[in-house]
Amino acid sequence: MVIECLLDGGVIIYPTDTIYGLGCDIFHHKAVERICRIKQVDPAKAQLSFICYDLSDLSNYTKSISTPLYRLLKTYLPGPYTFILPASKLVPKILKSRKDTIGLRIPDNTIARALLKELQHPILSSSLPGEMVEEYTDPEMIQEKFGNQVDIIIDGGIGGMIPSTIVDCTGDEPMLIRKGLGEWAEAAS
């Protein structure tokens, strides 16, 4: 049912290893725009990322990456990290930043990974709109607040309140952009 919804251009809220996320099939332009409307952001300015099942998707959605960078990603993924990487031509234009980059995650969450395995391509991963508040951890409260704006809310139990750690890997050295759930201090040393 969820996969059919995604393939038909639906929008879901689903659990990850950090916080609940808004998601859609990355190849449904209108669904991506719908998520931007829910978040009240301009699609051209939105910093959107997506989740993949595993590192084998890297070659499809990123330009070639070095062996040291691949090792770094392999060390931290799956896990609570979003890595900013150079986008390949397969990434829909609406998801690329002005710098031709993407945010890529591989969550360590059984539900999210099962969806990805079944769908066989990435799902948009965006935080719920507004400030991170406790009601975003409870699927029943999420239903009350967003039930009329999305097609499906997947109840994965009480979620977290801390988003992923964001690391920009487009320069010479990986650079911490946002400290989130994932520890990064050791990686930089």
Q: How confident is the model at residue 188 (pLDDT cuts 50, 70, 90)?
A: very low
Please give the pLDDT value at position 23.
Answer: 97
Look at 137 and 99; give whichever has higher pLDDT. 137
| Rounded average pLDDT over 3-7 | 97
| Rounded average pLDDT over 154-178 | 94
Domain count, the chain: 1
Instruction: Give the length of the chain.
Output: 189
- CATH code of 171's domain: 3.90.870.10
CA distance 70 to 9: 32
Q: How confident is the model at residue 24 (pLDDT cuts 50, 70, 90)?
A: very high
Please give the pLDDT value at position 96.
Answer: 83
Q: How confident is the model at residue 84 (pLDDT cuts 50, 70, 90)?
A: very high
Q: How confident is the model at residue 164 (pLDDT cuts 50, 70, 90)?
A: very high
**What domain range includes position 68?**
2-188
CB atoms within 10 A of CB 72: 18
Structure tokens at 98: 């002005």
| Residue 155: partners with Cβ closer than 8 Å, 6 or more residues away | 139
CA distance 156 to 14: 7
Full-model pTM? 0.92
Please give the pLDDT value at position 73.
Answer: 95
3-state secondary structure of 183: coil
CA distance 80 to 109: 10
* Per-residue CA distances from 34 to 20, 183, 186 (Å): 17, 32, 38
Share of the chain above pLDDT 70, in %: 96
Structure tokens at 12: 């879901």
Look at 72 and 98; give whichever has higher pLDDT. 72
Please give the pLDDT value at position 185.
Answer: 67
